[in-house]
Each structure stands twice: as C-alpha cells, then as structure tokens.
C-alpha cells in the first residue's frame, strides 16, 4: 500500500472549503484502504462520496472501524439545525455524543444554581465550608451544610430537560455519555440509568474505611458500622468537596476528547473538570445551552440562549429523540 503523502488536516480543510479540485488531488494519495499515515498510524481510510459534483460525505476509518465524521467537517460555523435541515437526521443519531449538565438544568425544578445572585454559594460561609481542608478541621459543620442542602433538594422533582435526556439514553444509537456535576439526583429520578455524577450525590454516604457507597436515608449521618467492612469508622457524604478529585473524571475526559457532538447544559464551566472538557472536544461540534453568556462561551460553535427545560427538549427532538 502506498504511504499517505498528506496529513489529514489538509483533507479536512479541503472538505471544509468544499474545494473539490483539491480533494480530488488529495484523494490520489490517500484513497487506498489500509493506508498508513506519515506517523505510521494504521488503517486510515478516506472515502469521499461525490453527489452531483458536491462533497457529500467523508468517511474515516481508524483502526479498521468506520466512523462517520461529516458532522465535525460540515458544521463549521453552521448551526446543527441547518446541517440537519440539509442532511436529515438519520446518520447523526449514530455519532458520539457527550453531554455535560450543571445546576442550570435543575433551576426550573426549584433548586437555586450555585453562582446566581440568590445562589447556594452566595452565602459567604458556604464555599469556605465545602472544602476538604475544612472537613478535616470541622467535620460537623461540613455535614450540617450537606444536611441543609439535602433538605432543600429532597422534595424536588425533575423537569422536562431531565426527562428529555432520559429519553435520549433509551434511544440514541451511537456512543453516548451524559455526565452531571449536580448532586441533586434528578437525572435518576427522571429515569436515566447511566449518568456519572462527577461531584457525587447528596442522597449517598460513603464509608471512610472501605469506600462503600450506600444510600443516605437518615436525617443526620449515623454512626452504625459499615455493612461491608463492619468497622465503626464514620461515614461521610458521598460528594466532592473543593480540593478533592471529581469522581469518574477520567471517563469524562476520554469521552469528551473522542466525541463528535458536545453539548453543555446550564453550567458556568468554572469548576474542574468541567472547564477542561469543552477544550478537549477538538473534533466535535460544540453547543452551549445557557440563559447567559459564560466564561467559556467563546469555546463553543453554537450558543442556544434560553432555559434548559425549554431548549433541551427542543434540541433532543431535533436530534430525532421521541419525547
């Protein structure tokens, strides 16, 4: 097989510019199956389908597996709605989709966000207390803060945005990862089964000796021994305090880096790893749903300004999800 003479980026650029002449010229060098590129990576396969003189599809196979990547190639400055209008939705619902949710998705359910004017972190002490170093010094005050938040969130119910994402989980044909920074459990109450909780969950407690996570059903944290290790080491809330590492963040980083469509819903993007996720999604069309401009808005291709409970169901319908 001939060696690939040109880097992928030239081809992508040519496709983006709809430069048929250049694509055809590049194809002469790159069209063979099982090409090896200049860095020796195997099985890079380009196939361009030309319909009525236009570039209609770019297929890339890596490691032998065929992937459609027209989404990232064709959206450019376009909105997803425009692309779907031109292309239909049939291929799209097989793409790799990554969704990050934050406090804004639960605003309509009556849970204040963290950084809004009447937000949970607006109390001068809250941010200072919700830290690992404070937990080491004054365990009781951190637990009291959790008890307060737990009470606030207890009776809350999911809204249309959570339900739309639960429907998405049932119906999406491609790789999908929805991750949440929220500790309110509303994705699960809406029926989602596979939403990693980067910051843990207020309805769970964790044994500090063996790490076993169980439901936190009592009002305060009880001192009963752990049912797994039987030790009397106290339990703690299964949440992430400032200064502690997020849960399952490696999975989130990997999925964000690999996705083709990235959607951030109702997050200010100010807390790790959220702010780094969008920056990793280099190959994706990136959409932000938020009522306001955020500090990371500039990193998105498309901004949908509006409330999550209205905009998320609309976007899911656009993606072919039946709600």
Interface contacts to ligand OAD, rule CB under 6 A: 102-104, 107-108, 113-116, 119, 181, 199, 240, 266-268, 270-271, 289-292, 294, 307-308
In whole angstroms, the minimum distance from the beta carbon of 180 to ligand OAD comes to 8
In whole angstroms, the minimum distance from the beta carbon of 286 to ligand OAD comes to 16
Residue closest to ligand OAD when measured from CB atoms = 104
Q: Using the minimum distance from each CB to ligand OAD, give the nearer residue, 75 or 181.
A: 181
In whole angstroms, the minimum distance from the beta carbon of 281 to ligand OAD comes to 17
Q: Using the minimum distance from each CB to ligand OAD, give the nearer residue, 26 or 143.
A: 143
**Annotated catalytic residue 132:** no
Q: Using the minimum distance from each CB to ligand OAD, give the nearer residue, 74 or 266.
A: 266
Residue from 146, 162, 187, 199 carrying the catalytic annotation: 199
Q: Using the minimum distance from each CB to ligand OAD, give the nearer residue, 75 or 180.
A: 180
CA 233 to each of CA 141, 206, 210, 225, 240: distance values in angstroms, whole numbers, following the listed order: 18, 10, 9, 7, 19
Backbone angles phi, psi at 66, to 5 degrees: -80, 130
3-state SS, 22-80, equals: HHHHHHHHHCCCCEECCCCCCCEEEEEEEECCEEEEEEEEECCEEEECHHHHHHCCCCH
The tally of CA atoms less than 13 A away on the side-chain side of residue 91 is 18
In whole angstroms, the minimum distance from the beta carbon of 162 to ligand OAD comes to 12
In whole angstroms, the minimum distance from the beta carbon of 130 to ligand OAD comes to 6
CA 204 to each of CA 131, 139, 201, 304: distance values in angstroms, whole numbers, following the listed order: 18, 17, 6, 33
Closest CA to 186 of 293, 312, 281: 312
Q: Using the minimum distance from each CB to ligand OAD, give the nearer residue, 102 or 313.
A: 102
Q: Which helix (DSSP H) or strand (DSSP E) does residue 300 occupy?
A: none
Instruction: Return left, alpha or beta for 178; rule: phi > 0 is left, psi -120 to 50 is alpha, else beta.
Output: beta
Residues annotated as catalytic (active site), given as ranges: 199
């Amino acid at each position: 097989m001939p060696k690939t003479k040109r880097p992928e980026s030239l081809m992508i650029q040519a496709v983006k510019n709809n430069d048929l002449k250049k694509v055809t010229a590049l194809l002469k060098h790159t069209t063979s199956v099982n090409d090896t590129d200049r860095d020796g990576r195997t099985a890079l396969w380009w196939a361009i389908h030309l319909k009525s003189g236009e570039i209609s599809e770019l297929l890339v196979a890596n490691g032998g597996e065929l992937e459609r990547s027209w989404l990232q190639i064709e959206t450019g400055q376009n909105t997803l709605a425009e692309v779907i209008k031109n292309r239909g939705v049939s291929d799209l619902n097989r793409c790799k989709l990554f969704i990050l949710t934050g406090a804004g998705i639960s605003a309509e359910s009556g849970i204040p966000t963290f950084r809004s004017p009447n937000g949970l972190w607006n109390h001068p002490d809250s941010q200072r207390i919700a830290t690992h170093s404070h937990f080491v010094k004054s365990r009781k005050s951190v637990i009291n803060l959790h008890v307060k938040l737990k009470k606030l969130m207890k009776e809350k119910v999911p809204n249309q945005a959570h339900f739309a994402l639960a429907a998405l989980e049932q119906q999406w044909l491609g790789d999908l990862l929805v991750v949440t920074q929220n500790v309110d459990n509303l994705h699960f109450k809406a029926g989602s089964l596979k939403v990693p909780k980067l910051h843990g969950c207020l309805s769970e407690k964790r044994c500090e000796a063996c790490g076993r996570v169980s439901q936190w059903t009592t009002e305060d944290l009880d001192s009963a021994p752990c049912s797994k290790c039987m030790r009397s080491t106290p339990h703690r809330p299964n949440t992430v305090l400032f200064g502690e590492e997020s849960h399952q963040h490696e999975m989130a980083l990997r999925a964000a880096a690999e996705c083709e469509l990235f959607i951030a819903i109702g997050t200010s993007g100010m807390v790790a790893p959220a702010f780094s996720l969008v920056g990793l999604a280099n190959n994706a069309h990136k959409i932000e749903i938020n009522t306001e401009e955020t500090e990371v808005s500039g990193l998105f291709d498309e901004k949908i300004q509006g409330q999550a409970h209205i905009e998320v169901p609309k976007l899911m319908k656009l993606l072919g999800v039946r709600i």
